[in-house]
Structure 1
Amino acid sequence: MSLPIVPFSEPPYLAGLPSPYYKSTHLKWQKACRDFIQKNLLENALEWDTAELLPEHVFETFAKAGMLIPSLPAPLPVEWLKRLGIRELPGGLKVEEFDYIHTMIYCDEMARSGLAGPSGSLTTGISFGVPPILKYGNKQLQERFLPELLTGGKRTCIAITEPGAGSDVANISTTATKTPDGKFYIINGTKKWITNGIWADYSSMAVRTGSPGPGGLSMVVVPLKGYPGVSMRRLKVGGQVSAGTTFIELDDVKVPVENLIGQEGMGMKYIMTNFNHERLTIAIGATRQARVALSAAMEYVLKREAFGKTLVEQPVVRHRLAKCGAMLESQWAWVEQFVYQMTQLPKETADIELGGLTAMVKAQSGIVLDECARCAMLLFGGNGYTKSGQGELIERIYREAPGVRIPGGSEDVMLDLGVRQLVKNFKNKTKAMEGPKGSSKL
């Protein structure tokens, strides 16, 4: 007979409660994910994050097993994967059966350490750097880069943010100017807070090929590691310390024009649609981090005694747990509903209908994580404020909360964007219902 699970420690579908979303293929995938990720990542995640670096063999193990592939948007690039000999993922899941619920399960399991750094050091590059090439790159570009990137032979990253342009993507200033013969771009500028950049052979980079504003932006595959004119250094950040946050300087970097992703001037569109996958996966992972923090607090107050009784017997403690538990489970229900909608809507419709909501679910996940981490730290007391011992993980998760509320689109910008997009959709639908204007004469 299995032991009862600690309250808030698992999503309802794993706590024995019924759910309309999960088919047998999803449940089988969850077991395969948990077995593989527990053995190859989670057992040492806190130790590696403390050292601020994962051993190289961890990436190689994940790549060899095909366990980097699930970080891509669903549906997977089936034709490419089969060409590369990848027909199934661990647990026997056929690549053509993979949907966004499988993505959600994978992201949730990868975050079970409670830390974003260990999983992010493995998946951020392929998850956000490869999709622009898959979606918008022409055949020659895909043939040159995808075989090595999809199999983990080479690493990539997404390089958008700059010292002077974070959430304000339209004001990116890194320039890509064509040589007189039109054969190369000469790239100059800086990129900052680029996750995985320090290990990346390539980047899908936002550059300015035209006039100021969004219409002048393009995306280019720019070589990084060891490439002439590129210098990189790791940045020390408050959380996600093992994910390789990087500052990149580009000094007359010469790149073939064939490295252009899609068309010149379409970069803003490519960047914004790519953000949807990024923000949704951040929301999934952050919700699990909140779950890890809150369930650890629950486990602690069940055994910790003060004033002659366990902490959970104190009404004020139960009140804190209840408020955060309600936020956590509401957030997870929204994530599940959101991901289910992704499996039912055509991609083009989902980008329009769910684009603004994606920004909001990402913002809310950071708010929930902050509340749950704060609750856990307060209930752990001095132990939660100590960088070692039984509260070490809680102290670390608390420092990671800003890493959800700021990167991937800062919280205030996301909330505003969400409402603006909903209003835009409403106005467009209202306008479409109106008949042709004009007067009719009797």
Structure 2
Amino acid sequence: MTEFEFQEPDFLGEDLRMVRAQVRRFVEERIVPHGEAWEASGEIPREIFRDLGAMGFLGMRHPVEYGGGGMGAMASVVLGEELSRSTFGGVASALTVHSDMSVGHIAHRGTHEQKLKYLPAACAGEKVGAVCVTEPNAGSDVAGLKTRAVRTKEGWVLNGSKTFITNGVFGDIYIVAARTDPEAKGSRGISLFIVEKGNPGLKIARKFDKHGWRSSDTAELFLDDLFVPHDALLGEEGKGFYYIMSTFQNERLVVGALASGTSSKAIELTVDYLRQRQAFGKPLWEQPVVRNKVAWIAAKAAAVRALTYQCAQMIDEGKDTVREVSMLKAFGAETLQEVVHTCLQLHGGTGFIIGTPVERMARDSRILTIGGGATEVMLEEVAKRM
């Protein structure tokens, strides 16, 4: 452990300490050496999902009887922190969208038949999940989505479009939000459906070329008379908005974990660089103004981590965490911007060169203030509960 890596909290049990050690080893051996190639190709090999799934890390929150680990929110935090320490945000996003933001809908509200059909393969990393909520005119405003699902005698027919979908190209199990009651306003009348890869009505409009997260595939999808049977409905009809909001709390917790892990790694790399970089006859680390900058961002990063772990504990205790998780999403993502850009500044010209970890982390981190609920939306959620 370097001097600037945060100490392990005492309340983490031996099982989670083992998870951290094993995921960290996997990141160092299987992700870091190949991450640059995945950045160039814009995708992650399927065997990464399968191998991490075989180790039991892609279904830690899912029920044991369907191939999962039956663990709590703290497991998601440990996984998110360690994946983000790879410095490849695209890898961390693709894996956590699968493990914590998509097929989790099936784990929480699917029927026994749906769980049996999808969860074992998802936990094993054999099938990759994606969640399809965002639309061109409905992002943080989920209640504004326009995709329609019309009931027929045989099932449902969906029409509409989805955008900014992580794992949208290479996914296998799509959780799709659609409006099932055209008369309902706002958040009412939205339902969730399970759509499988290969459905002729699911069309990939384009794969985005992104500013960051370049190793994860992100797509725009069209739903063109997409037919699914009645048993593709996930949970109760008309309850989709509430399901999405519930899952958003976990997504925002994971964003906090990603911010914590990325901040820790960025500071660690920067301290190592400053101790080696000579300027004005001595290492930059010996300049008080430089050390003070690092100490300041380290203090803020520690606060993000503490709030992340507090939120995970509250979730595991069954408490209402909307206010605290909204605080975490806003504070964690915005603090990360300060951390990575300070680290880039302290790297000087080296920090501006594509391919260096700090430059990549600065690009990858930008999306966290937007995805999963923009900072402005999160602060409004906090304000409404004050």
TM-score by length of 2: 0.93
**Partner of 1:385 in structure 2?**
352
**Partner of 1:205 in structure 2?**
176
Q: CA deviation at 1:279?
A: 0.9
1:251 pairs with 2:224: yes
**Partner of 1:332 in structure 2?**
305
**In structure 2, how many angstroms separate the alpha carbons of the residues matched to 1:329 and 1:127?**
24
In structure 2, the CA distance between the partners of 1:398 and 1:413, relative to structure 1 (3 Å rule), is same
**What are the ranges of 5 or more consecutive residues in structure 1 without an aligned counterpart?**
14-18, 87-94, 424-442
Kindly indicate whether structure 1 or structure 2 has the higher relative contact order, using CA contacts under 8 Å at least 6 residues apart.
2
Residues 128-143 of structure 1 correspond to what in structure 2 (within 5 A)? 128-143=101-116
**Partner of 2:359 in structure 1?**
395
In structure 2, the CA distance between the partners of 1:281 and 1:60, relative to structure 1 (3 Å rule), is same
1:174 pairs with 2:147: yes
**Residues 359, 414 of structure 1: 8 Å contact kept:** yes
In structure 2, the CA distance between the partners of 1:27 and 1:154, relative to structure 1 (3 Å rule), is closer
1:53 pairs with 2:43: yes
Q: CA deviation at 1:191?
A: 0.3
Q: CA deviation at 1:284?
A: 0.3
**Partner of 1:11 in structure 2?**
6
Which residue, 107, 111, 117 being the options, matches 2:90?
117
In structure 2, the CA distance between the partners of 1:6 and 1:31, relative to structure 1 (3 Å rule), is closer
1:28 pairs with 2:18: yes
**Counterpart residue type for residue 192 of structure 1:** T
What whole-Å deviation, never above 9, does each CA across 1:338-366 have from its counterpart, x for those lacking one? 223333x13xxx2xx21221121011111
Q: CA deviation at 1:277?
A: 1.0
**Residues 340, 361 of structure 2: 8 Å contact kept:** yes
**In structure 2, how many angstroms separate the alpha carbons of the residues matched to 1:237 and 1:412?**
22
Q: CA deviation at 1:218?
A: 0.7
Q: CA deviation at 1:415?
A: 1.4
What whole-Å deviation, never above 9, does each CA across 1:105-153 have from its counterpart, x for those lacking one? 2221111112221132234124211121121122333333333333333
**Partner of 1:80 in structure 2?**
66
Q: CA deviation at 1:285?
A: 1.3
**Counterpart residue type for residue 80 of structure 1:** Y
**Residues 105, 247 of structure 2: 8 Å contact kept:** yes
Residues 347-426 of structure 1 correspond to what in structure 2 (within 5 A)? 350=319, 353-388=320-355, 392-420=356-384, 422-423=385-386
Residues 150-169 of structure 1 correspond to what in structure 2 (within 5 A)? 150-169=123-142
What whole-Å deviation, never above 9, does each CA across 1:24-59 have from its counterpart, x for those lacking one? 333233223322332222332344224322223222
**Counterpart residue type for residue 378 of structure 2:** M
Q: CA deviation at 1:196?
A: 0.6
**In structure 2, how many angstroms separate the alpha carbons of the residues matched to 1:22 and 1:256?**
44
**In structure 2, how many angstroms separate the alpha carbons of the residues matched to 1:133 and 1:124?**
14
**Counterpart residue type for residue 303 of structure 1:** Q
**In structure 2, how many angstroms separate the alpha carbons of the residues matched to 1:401 and 1:141?**
35
What whole-Å deviation, never above 9, does each CA across 1:169-208 have from its counterpart, x for those lacking one? 00100000112x2x22111111000101111122111100
Residues 228-377 of structure 1 correspond to what in structure 2 (within 5 A)? 228-232=200-204, 233-343=206-316, 345-346=317-318, 350=319, 353-377=320-344
Which one has a bigger Cα radius of gyration? Answer: 1
In structure 2, the CA distance between the partners of 1:148 and 1:32, relative to structure 1 (3 Å rule), is closer
**Counterpart residue type for residue 29 of structure 2:** K
**Partner of 1:434 in structure 2?**
none
1:214 pairs with 2:181: no
**In structure 2, how many angstroms separate the alpha carbons of the residues matched to 1:58 and 1:20?**
31
What do you get for the CA RMSD once the two structures are aligned?
Answer: 1.9
**Partner of 2:198 in structure 1?**
226
In structure 2, the CA distance between the partners of 1:250 and 1:359, relative to structure 1 (3 Å rule), is same
- Number of residue equivalences: 383
Tell which deviates more after alignment, 404-413 or 44-53: 44-53
Local SS of the residue matching 1:214:
coil
TM-score by length of 1: 0.82
Local SS of the residue matching 2:34:
helix
**Partner of 1:436 in structure 2?**
none
Q: CA deviation at 1:280?
A: 0.4
**Counterpart residue type for residue 228 of structure 1:** P
**In structure 1, how many angstroms separate the alpha carbons of the residues matched to 2:210 and 2:59?**
27
**Counterpart residue type for residue 365 of structure 1:** G
In structure 2, the CA distance between the partners of 1:6 and 1:145, relative to structure 1 (3 Å rule), is closer
**In structure 2, how many angstroms separate the alpha carbons of the residues matched to 1:384 and 1:199?**
32
**Residues 231, 248 of structure 1: 8 Å contact kept:** yes
Q: CA deviation at 1:282?
A: 1.4
1:38 pairs with 2:28: yes
**Counterpart residue type for residue 157 of structure 2:** I
In structure 2, the CA distance between the partners of 1:127 and 1:178, relative to structure 1 (3 Å rule), is same
Local SS of the residue matching 2:139:
coil
In structure 2, the CA distance between the partners of 1:50 and 1:393, relative to structure 1 (3 Å rule), is farther
**In structure 2, how many angstroms separate the alpha carbons of the residues matched to 1:207 and 1:240?**
27
**Residues 158, 205 of structure 1: 8 Å contact kept:** yes
Local SS of the residue matching 1:215:
coil
Which residue, 106, 112, 117 being the options, matches 1:144?
117
